[in-house]
Chains A and B, each alone.
Chain A
């Protein structure tokens, strides 16, 4: 048993740290640390910086412009990025569609799309959920009907993250109503500026704008945009979910958030003392910290196993559950730590002399509300429990 990284991994960790301290722009990391909304240009700027170093698609094979990182290398990279408050890498092209095309796409599709993901020409978004198909994704009803060299697509997608920035969308569509619902689904690529596609914003609980509804009315999609065989979309979707196992517990974000929480609890005063000296509050921090420490190790255990066997095992679902619960607990404590100062709607009027919250914490309540999503999206924690129960109890 040895919990330390190998010399090679440690060397890589040092390299990532040096890179981040040199190349991560302060404007970006400050925005991330404060929980402010990033613009499209912010994301693109960070992507370009990473791409110039060859690290944007670090986990991609060298043949496609990546570094062929191991799962542990990728974990190190993402954890260090989170600790440095780097913007997250927008995952839809890089972590979702890219690997799907490498496994299921045609040579022509790979040649056309993979370079455009890396160089930022394309911003992909994900058309999976529908108003009637959330946890029960296989019941999706957006229809794609073959018409010569095209599919005609009709339906509606929802919760489409950052579609307002995207120019392309990959969708799960129904191409057959025969047999089990899973057997009639196909994986289709579309241009968002195709006639018949309309993107409408959904405003979230805290007032922010990051998800959308996408309406599809008689959209003509060339058959060459089908990925894999017709009616094999479910296999692709499952591959995609299983593939995305790095960073599932978001421990890097949580470690950074814990550090921020402790600083906050030292800065705010309650009962004439720093809040951190309140034993009830300090105990709650201690409780989250032990959970986080355990989740961090579970994550490393999973990575080590994946490296050996190629399969992540049931820990992926466990990590999703515990990782999101820990992160939400940290958000909860940061909000509470502010007391009355958490309640004002973050605004310019409250910056400067009237700043109510210590620097970087004005968004604590907004982040708390926004992050209620993380236990819902990507397979809710209830669905993760169903998966675990099936494995455990049959």
Chain B
């Protein structure tokens, strides 16, 4: 048994961490995350130059990674830095291009930006329940809250074709895109396709999309663990230094026990993410990923709420980074299925 990260992955994670320290410091991050276009081209090319996107594909797909732990070793640092760049969309897009055997070069080097257009307003998190159609070479329908859609060059769209869910590629210029910022920073868009010319990448794409979504869920769970670590570090410092009633508030037992509970739960989150990363590509993938997404979703909200409550008013302010961690930790649960959605899936496997 060995729970150490491989040297290659550790080097990538360390370099990524250093890059983010420089390129995604709190003030700069806040500006990028909350002001149009919710994107920093310099940060993005820095990530690409690091070879980040190559980590998402295996060697025979043209990358140097592709395993579950390649995803988690990247997304934990991204979470720790609250990086607002749409790396998740790029990762899921690359996975699907590679599965389809399509050209991945421009996306691997970051010059082409991808977004996965799956969710529809009345059918969130159910790629096969949408009403977007592909007929006669054209896509018609609406996709909602498309992460990365604010900067995407190309959409990979789940669309009904011949009674099956196909994966169709549509150039961003052929869609009507309304970009917007998110309450926890970063961007997304509404995307409307009106007879937009599209190219089928995978005709029967249900399984391929499900796999890409699983990889996305693993990434989000790892991002949450990174954000929890950073949030807890701020929180611990504050409890040790903030004095009320003549002593640090961290000396009050009523807070100590709750602080420790957060540490326990964060370790639970870390463990379930490791479990899911190890299960990628095996029969256990579906269940392990659902467990990781559901449990981290629940724990992330607890960490968000409790770090605000125990730090008090200061954690309610925009100027103190803790509030931004709380927002991201809460809103991660709204992406790719929330804790209730995945718990329901798991309940059917009991």
Contacts and interface: CB of A to CB of B under 8 A. Distances in A.
B183 A206 contact: yes
Nearest to B190: A354
Nearest to A270: B124
A148 interface: no
Contact of B313 (A134, A270, A271): A134
Contacts of B44: none
Contacts of B129: 271-272
Nearest to B182: A343
A206 B180 CA distance: 16
Given A136-B244, A269-B123, A336-B338, A159 B313 contact: yes
Contacts of B317: 202-205
Contacts of A203: 317-319
Contact of A356 (B144, B181, B331, B333): B144
Interface stretch (B4-12, B20-28, B45-53, B304-312): B304-312
B145 A372 contact: no
B182 A345 contact: yes
Interface residues of B, number: 50
A381 interface: yes
A372 B308 contact: yes
Interface SS of A by simple majority:
mixed
B62 to A, nearest CB: 31
Contacts of B181: 344-345, 347
Nearest to B339: A336
A207 B35 CA distance: 12
B312 A341 contact: no
Contacts of A317: none
Given A272-B129, A280-B340, A344 B183 contact: yes
A317 to B, nearest CB: 15
Contact of B309 (A272, A339, A375): A375
A366 B316 CA distance: 12
Interface in B78-124: 119, 121-124
A369 B327 contact: yes
A234 to B, nearest CB: 15
A340 B190 CA distance: 12
Contacts of A346: 183
A296 to B, nearest CB: 24
Given A205-B326, A356-B121, A376-B309, A343 B184 contact: yes
Given A339-B338, A344-B188, A366 B183 contact: yes
B3 interface: no
Interface in A369-394: 369, 372-373, 375-377, 380-382, 385
Contacts of B334: 336, 338-340, 342-343
Contacts of B331: 342-343, 365
A365 B183 contact: yes
Contacts of A109: none
A135 interface: yes
A335 B340 CA distance: 13
B349 interface: no
A350 interface: yes
A346 B327 CA distance: 14
Contact of B180 (A134, A204, A347, A366): A347
A205 B255 contact: no
B256 interface: no
A354 to B, nearest CB: 5
Contacts of B315: 205
B313 A129 contact: yes
A349 interface: yes
Given A344-B145, A344-B183, A205 B316 contact: yes
Contacts of A356: 121, 144-145, 190
A340 B313 contact: no
A281 interface: yes
Nearest to A284: B340
Interface in A302-339: 332, 335-336, 338-339
B183 A350 contact: no
B245 A382 contact: no
Interface of A: 129, 132-136, 139, 158-159, 202-207, 269-272, 278, 280-281, 332, 335-336, 338-347, 349-350, 354, 356, 365-366, 368-369, 372-373, 375-377, 380-382, 385
Given A336-B340, A373-B313, 5 more contacts: A271-B129, A272-B129, A344-B183, A369-B183, A382-B309
11 contacts: A134-B244, A134-B312, A158-B313, A203-B318, A205-B317, A343-B183, A343-B331, A344-B181, A344-B182, A354-B178, A377-B313
* Top 10 A-B residue pairs of the complex, sorted by shortest distance between their CB atoms: A203-B318, A136-B244, A340-B145, A205-B323, A339-B124, A269-B122, A345-B181, A136-B245, A340-B124, A372-B308
